[in-house]
Amino acid sequence: MKKEHLPQKICPICSRPFTWRKKWERVWDDVKYCSERCRRNKQKALTKATS
Ligand SMILES: [Zn+2]
């Protein structure tokens, strides 16, 4: 696999692009956030929005 053409997504929490990582190779379709921190922020935001 060539390094220069890795897929990218935009994190909806921090609005930053993040690049495919080896650890995501099996779950890339399900990856929505750039980091564990943003994933937690999303949960926090959801809780806030529904309360
Ligand atoms: Zn993020």
List helix spans (H) across the chain. Answer: 36-50
Return residues with CB closer than 5 A to ligand 1 (ion).
11, 13-14, 34, 38
Compute the average pLDDT of residues 30-43.
Answer: 92
Please give the distance, rounded to the nearest whole angstrom, from the Cα atom of residue 5 to the centre of ligand 1: 21
Instruction: Name the pTM for this structure.
Output: 0.70
| Dihedrals phi, psi of 38, to nearest 5 degrees | -70, -35
What is the rounded distance in angstroms from the CA atom of residue 50 to the CA atom of residue 32? 21
> Would you state the pLDDT for residue 37?
94
44 or 39: which leads in pLDDT: 39
| Ligand 1 geometric centre to CA of 49 (Å) | 19
Query: Tens digit of pLDDT for each residue in 8-34?
Result: 999 999 999 999 999 999 999 999 999
